[in-house]
Every structure is written in structure tokens, then in C-alpha cells.
Amino acid sequence: MSITIIGAGLSGLLTGYLLKKEGIPFKILEARNRVGGRINTVYATNKAPVEMGATWFTRQHKQLIGLLEELEIEYFEQRMDNTVFYETSTVSPAQLVQTPSQAPSFRISGGTSSLIHALLHKLDATDVLFNQSVNHIKINKNTVEVRAGKTFKSNAVILAIPPKLWAKNIVFDPFLPADLMGIAIQTQTWMEDSIKIALTYDQPFWGQGNLPGTLFSNSGPITELYDHSNHEGSKYALCGFIASSLKNLTYTERRENVITQLKKVFGVRATAFTSYEECVWSKEKNTFEPCDTFLYPHQNNGNSIFSKSYLDNTLFISSSESAPEFSGYMDGAVYSANRIVEKIMKI
Ligand SMILES: Cc1cc2nc3c(=O)[nH]c(=O)nc-3n(C[C@H](O)[C@H](O)[C@H](O)COP(=O)(O)OP(=O)(O)OC[C@H]3O[C@@H](n4cnc5c(N)ncnc54)[C@H](O)[C@@H]3O)c2cc1C
């Protein structure tokens, strides 16, 4: 049996690693020229690694933690201030407010992409093929033909991409059941329209008896901002989200808006950053896919229709959004990969 995996995000790469352990041949076809999908850490010399995608997890994310432990990847607690800046509206200045104590969240040491790179290192160089945007899947008995730049043949295919993407961008021959397609098209892809920002600093102006580095704002453009210094506490950064509506501004306009707000809340020292990074995910075509109707966050995520296999066990549905628990999150992606490989091993 041989398998084609579509997508080299967390779910696709982990599926590859698990299949490799079982001795089942596979290829991963990836549309982008990089691995990781919605996980993308920006690394720059002498600067804290900063996350443009997935960042935090909690103790409840047991599938993810299990994988990190298996791969011997360390993680650490996100530093949170007891007192944070809070902007209630555009007309009032930021207030310092106490936050209720809450369960800690964690980050992966060295950046979330450390997990992606660790999985990639478990694979052979030819297992992942880049710039392969899959647009057609033909299934005839036990033969699957997956068309991207060229045609790849195998005995089964795993869709390790968000359901809305395969429902809209891939032609299936024969057609997939109408109820499955209807739900897939209306399945929200977690964070697909968010905008992440990160600023690095030579020295922190927050923490250690100084002002907090945490900001929550109802007025924006920054809606949430957190300390993002590295695990060792030797390189400094702030990282968070800005309002999705800013996607229509230019890069320079967004950056200026961010700087103005930082200066207003933290003072002029916040403008002494050494780099500004951002990712407008709604401009990432292999993540964002427009939908005719409004989808609420996590809509149809984990729908039981995704847990079935189709066309005589030749087509399997993966990606974080297909997981029944913590769907949309990294934990869901790990769950999906584990579940599908278990299922394949029983066939
Ligand atoms: C800004 C942001 C913040 C987030 N924060 C968190 C967080 O703090 N904690 C958390 O747990 N999760 C977070 N997430 C969600 C987390 O990133 C995802 O749950 C997880 O990475 C999904 O992995 P995946 O493999 O299922 O999908 P993806 O990462 O989307 O991977 C799918 C892959 O398929 C590729 N692809 C798409 N279409 C095709 C095609 N036609 N042919 C071939 N390849 C294709 C894509 O390029 C991509 O590499 C965040 C996501 C974003 C965007």
C-alpha cells in the first residue's frame, strides 16, 4: 500500500512520520515552498524567534504534549503579567488592570517551527515535494491519481488540508458525497483571517519591575499583545494580533498604526524596536479561502462526517479542523494524524 498526503502542515508531516515508522511508503505534496502551513516561526540572527502562526497550548492539549515529549522538544510557560494594560475605547487612555489568575499556557522552546523541523528531519529529503498545488483527485478501485504539477499514483490519499480548501479547490472524480461537500465548504478554518504582528527589541522596556508587556485593547489596531521573549530570556520581543479589518491597509499603513498605538500605551521607548514582522493570513491563498456565507469561529470543526473514510478506504480526511477535540488547534492536527494512521493500520 502506498499513500499520497496532501499538505505539509503539522497534520501532514506527522502523518508522514507515523507512516514511516510503520514502513508504509508515502509522498507529501505541498503547495507552498515551505513546510508548516499555519505554523511559521520567523528566525533572524540575534533576535528572538517570533511566531506568525500557532504559538500557545495548554496542559489540556495532551496529544500535542505527547508528541513534544516523544520528539524531546522542550516547552516553557508563557510569561503573563498580573497587571496588564487595557484600552476600553478609542477615547479613553489605557488603564492598568489586574487580571484574574488563569491556567498557564505554554510555548515551544526555539519557536513552534522547531516541532515542524523535528518532524521534517525524521523524513527523507524526497518525501516532501514542494510547489505541488493539488487540484484534481481521480480514484478508480484501488488506484488514486493525484494531480498537481504532475500526476502522482498511490493506493490511498489523505487530505491534510482544511476542509474548505479541498472542497473549493480540488475536483474529485468520482464526486464526493453531497452532504460531505456541503459541510466541508461551510467549515471554518481556524485563524484564517487573523493578522499576527511581532516586534523585536535589543532591550525590553517591560517586565522586571517595569511596565507590563501585556495589552488588551477594544480600540485597536492591536487587540492583544504579549511578551514574546525567548525561552532563555536573552532575546526580547512582543507578539500579538491586530484587527482583521486592517487587511485592506498597506503594510506601511498597518505598521504606522501599530507604532502609534504602542507609543500611546507604552511611551516612546516602545518605538525602539529592531524589527517589525506581520502576517496577514487572509492573503495566504493556501490557508484562506473565501466563503459565500458568514462562518462563525470553529463552525463545523470536528463534524463526525470527517471521521469516516470514503471511496472504499481510499480517501481519508485529516487536518486540525477534522478533529473532534481541540479542532482548529495544533492538538487537533496531532489528533487527526494519529487517528488516521491508526485507521490505516487496521485496514
Ligand atoms: C495566526 C494563527 C495563530 C494560531 N495560533 C494558534 C495557537 O496559539 N495555538 C494552537 O494550538 N493553534 C493555533 N493556530 C492553529 C494552528 O496553526 C493549526 O491548528 C495547525 O497548524 C493546523 O495544521 P494542519 O496541518 O491541520 O493545517 P495547515 O497548517 O493549514 O497545513 C495545511 C498545508 O496544506 C497546504 N495546502 C493547502 N492547499 C493545498 C493544495 N491544494 N495542495 C497541496 N498543499 C496544499 C498548505 O500550504 C499547508 O502547508 C493558529 C493559526 C494561525 C493562522
Indicate which atom in ligand 1 lies nearest the CA of residue 35.
Answer: 49
Q: Which of the listed CATH numbers 3.50.50.60, 3.40.462.10, 3.30.1490.100, 3.40.640.10 matches domain 1-39+112-190+289-347?
A: 3.50.50.60
From 156, 253, 237, select the one nearest 201 (Cα to Cα): 237
Chain segment 123-157, per-residue pLDDT in tens: 999 999 999 999 999 999 889 999 998 999 999 99
pLDDT > 90 in the chain, percent: 94
Quote the ligand 1 centre to 263 CA distance (angstroms).
Answer: 33
- DSSP H or E stretch at residue 336: helix 330-346
pLDDT at residue 240, as a whole number = 98
Quote the ligand 1 centre to 335 CA distance (angstroms).
Answer: 14
Chain segment 13-64, per-residue pLDDT in tens: 999 999 999 999 999 999 999 999 999 999 999 999 999 999 999 999 999 9
Span 253-280, average pLDDT: 97
Closest residue by CA, ligand 1 atom 21: 38
Quote the ligand 1 centre to 75 CA distance (angstroms).
Answer: 20
The verdict on the CB of residue 14 being under 6 Å from ligand 1 is no
Indicate which atom in ligand 1 lies nearest the CA of residue 169.
Answer: 41
How far is Cα 62 from Cα 150, in angstroms, rounded to an integer? Answer: 38
Count CB atoms within 10 A of the CB of residue 24: 17
Ligand 1 pocket: which of 107, 119, 161 to mutate (most atoms <8 Å of CB)?
A: 161
pLDDT at residue 210, as a whole number = 79
pLDDT at residue 1, as a whole number = 92
pLDDT category at 92 given cuts 50, 70, 90 is confident
pLDDT at residue 142, as a whole number = 85
DSSP-assigned states of every residue in 83-111: EEEEE--SSS--EEEEPPP----EEETT-
pLDDT at residue 252, as a whole number = 98
DSSP-derived secondary structure letter, 235: S
Kindly list the domain boundaries of the chain, sorted by start residue: 1-39+112-190+289-347, 41-111+193-286
Summary mean pLDDT of the chain: 96
pLDDT at residue 157, as a whole number = 98
Query: Rg of the Cα trace of the chain?
Result: 21
Quote the ligand 1 centre to 200 CA distance (angstroms).
Answer: 24
How far is Cα 266 from Cα 210, in angstroms, rounded to an integer? Answer: 11
Indicate which atom in ligand 1 lies nearest the CA of residue 32.
Answer: 47
Closest residue by CA, ligand 1 atom 31: 9
Closest residue by CA, ligand 1 atom 48: 37
CATH 3.90.660.10, domain 41-111+193-286, yes or no = yes
Ligand 1 pocket: which of 15, 32, 38 to mutate (most atoms <8 Å of CB)?
A: 38
Chain segment 197-248, per-residue pLDDT in tens: 999 999 999 987 778 999 999 998 999 999 999 999 999 999 999 999 999 9
